Structure 1
Amino acid sequence: MRTDVDANGVASRRTLGVLFAVITLLTALCAGATTAAAAQPAPAGGPDAVTVRMVDFRLEQPTWLPPGRYTFRAINAGAAPHALEISGPGVENARTPTVRSGDAADLTVTLAPGVYDFWCPIGDHRQLGMQLYVRVG
């Protein structure tokens, strides 16, 4: 990358301004992604709510959670039908029904410390990338 400098070797204001704008944009994007992915506390001691966006062909959700009881709101934001399935310590193949495009389903489970496998069990969606590991603890 070429930086415009004056005779004293000082970078131009324009170059510094562009660099500052890029850093500000990246910081805002990272902060927004972290905030959007956080679990929402439940009212009156119920399960915490976590949004899982099922998109062709990926899952968008937090990859770390504290131990606790969660209701995963699986929203199909893709074109194909999807479902959410979870396995891990104390959770064996908990699954939502098949969710059509634009619809959602809830799945409530208690997560103990450990690593959980989240995936879409429809067709070959898991092999296409609709799978991720979530660390709890």
Structure 2
Amino acid sequence: MLFGVVALMGALCAGATTAAAQPAPTGFGARVVTVGMVEFRLEQPAWLPPGRYTFHAVNAGRAPHALEISGPGVGDVRTPVVQSGGAADLTVTLGPGVYDFWCPVGNHRQQGMQLYVRVG
């Protein structure tokens, strides 16, 4: 039940209804968050509790996209470029703080594919 409240709060904070934290399969130790990458926005929660996450970045757009994350203790990490209809995973541990999520392909970030995610 607590997970449902956390997932709902994350979706409400992000204004997205298609991306939510999901429990990971037993034994993996990371929550899975689906990130929708479309022209030109990221669809995912804007608030998450601290923990280990696998961000499943799904390219639901027409152009190639990628997901890059920077923030406290993470540095800069990113997925490879994902073609339309494809997906890539990125696993990181997020502590309390604010993280910058964006698409590093071309000028996609400047066109709106950027989101600050608050953890804590």
Q: Shorter-chain TM-score: which interval?
A: 0.7 to 0.9
Identical pairs, percent: 77
Paired position in structure 2 for 1:55 = 38
Q: Deviation string for 1:13-69 (max 9, x for gaps)? A: xxxxxxxxxxxxxxxxx7xx7764321112335200000000011000000000000
Q: Give the number of the structure whose alpha-carbon radius of gyration is greater.
A: 1
Moved over 2 A (4+): 33-38
Segments of structure 1 that go 5 or more residues without pairing to the other structure are: 1-29
**Cα RMSD (Å):** 1.5
Aligned equivalents of 2:105 and 2:40: distance in 1?
Answer: 11
1 or 2 for the larger relative contact order (CA 8 Å, sep ≥6)? 2
Paired position in structure 1 for 2:23 = 41
Aligned equivalents of 1:105 and 1:78: distance in 2?
Answer: 14
Paired position in structure 2 for 1:134 = 117
Deviation at 1:78, TM superposition (A): 0.5
Paired position in structure 2 for 1:19 = none
More helix per residue: 1
More strand per residue: 2
TM-score (norm. length: structure 1): 0.73
The secondary structure found in structure 2 opposite 1:42 is coil
Segments of structure 2 that go 5 or more residues without pairing to the other structure are: 1-11
